[in-house]
Amino acid sequence: MYDFESVKNLYEDGYRCIYYNAEEDNPLVYLKNFDNEDSKEIQFEDQTQFMQFKDYLNTLRSQ
C-alpha cells in the first residue's frame, strides 16, 4: 500500500498516470516513467488518499 506522498514523489520523479481504477475500496493507480520505461502499480490505502492524488493531478493540469 502507498500513501499519497509516496505517489506524489514518484510523479515528481517522472512517472505519469496512465490508468486508474477507483471502483475498489483501495483504488489502484498505474504509473509509467517514459524515460526509463519503468512502471508501477500503486494501491492507495483509501479513497481519501486517491482523491488527494486526483486533486494534485488537477492542479498540475491547470498550471
- Tens of pLDDT along 1-47? 677 788 888 989 999 999 999 887 889 999 999 999 999 999 988 88
Query: What is the pTM assigned to this prediction?
Result: 0.81
pLDDT computed for residue 1 by the predictor: 66
Burial of 17 (C-beta count, 10 Å sphere; 0-12/13-18/19+): middle
Q: How far, CA to CA in Å, does 14 sit from each of 17, 42, 52, 56?
A: 10, 15, 18, 15
Strands (E), 1-63: 15-21, 28-33, 38-43
